[in-house]
Homo-oligomer: A and B are copies of this chain.
């Protein structure tokens, strides 16, 4: 339910509504708007009793939210979400920006990470991706450097000021990852790991939520709702390809989900053309298509020597390819009303 306050409602009136909602065993989410404040209400398993609320002073209107996702919906929050990420809040994610999160698949060594952090910073990229904990199909494959990898990321951040986006896979590692990450990534295979979602919902860090391999738009937004209702309002979605019969690429990158997502939700949407295609040669075209389709940025694998990468080499582009991509994105961005960052 959405409680719309009168334009001239006082902060005391707002507080009283918040308190009343809490006394009903529900969770209030203040949503300040340009002309008035609204208060989202979540936590109910059945219809909310309207009477104690509609008679409170300052309340203009109670609106039932029809979607199963509430805080993620435009019904509750019509305006696009945008937030800042990274050291000194240097990066912005949200409409109007086309934000690049670039870097290697995994933290492979100190040299690699410091080198990439430097190279990305030089190119104006403000956020670096790299996994210390890696979800691998095989138990016998490289599983990431773990804690040691986190230390390396920390060092790269300190050295260059680049923001760190890295994956959390286990609730037991939450504190360790949150200390280093500027944005916590939840991987596709964990999109419905509800214990993990509840855990990041309680952390005070932006979250990048990748779409599950077979997730519908609604399931994806419901997963986001787990985080938003924490509350943790700084969530960005990331399309990374879904599982279909198609065998021409590693996954089927579903750019067509962007317009419908934007229609029902205010959350930013990034695209990962690296996992989406699984093949280096196809990444630049799909990156450009993501921009044209209305995405708010890219999560993209860049590696100085893709042929030597410990994971995801075949889908990583090198610096030269990245530079060429940047140049073409820079030409297109103004004609699509966004700024490349």
Contact = CB atoms under 8 A, between A and B. Distances in A.
A259 B281 contact: yes
Nearest to A199: B170
Given A192-B189, A195-B169, A246-B216, A226 B259 contact: no
Q: How many copies does the complex hold?
A: 4
A246 B137 CA distance: 16
A276 B254 CA distance: 11
Interface stretch (A76-84, A106-114, A177-185, A287-295): A287-295
B255 A246 contact: no
B139 A229 contact: yes
A57 interface: no
B256 A139 contact: no
8 contacts: A42-B140, A139-B222, A171-B171, A171-B172, A216-B245, A248-B261, A288-B336, A335-B335
Interface of A: 42-45, 68, 70, 135-143, 169-173, 189-190, 192-198, 212-214, 216-217, 219, 222, 225-226, 229, 241-249, 252-261, 263, 276-277, 279, 281-282, 285-286, 288-294, 328, 331-332, 335-336
Given A217-B248, A242-B245, A253-B255, 17 more contacts: A44-B140, A45-B142, A137-B192, A137-B222, A139-B222, A169-B195, A171-B172, A213-B213, A214-B243, A217-B246, A244-B244, A246-B256, A246-B257, A248-B256, A248-B260, A260-B279, A328-B335
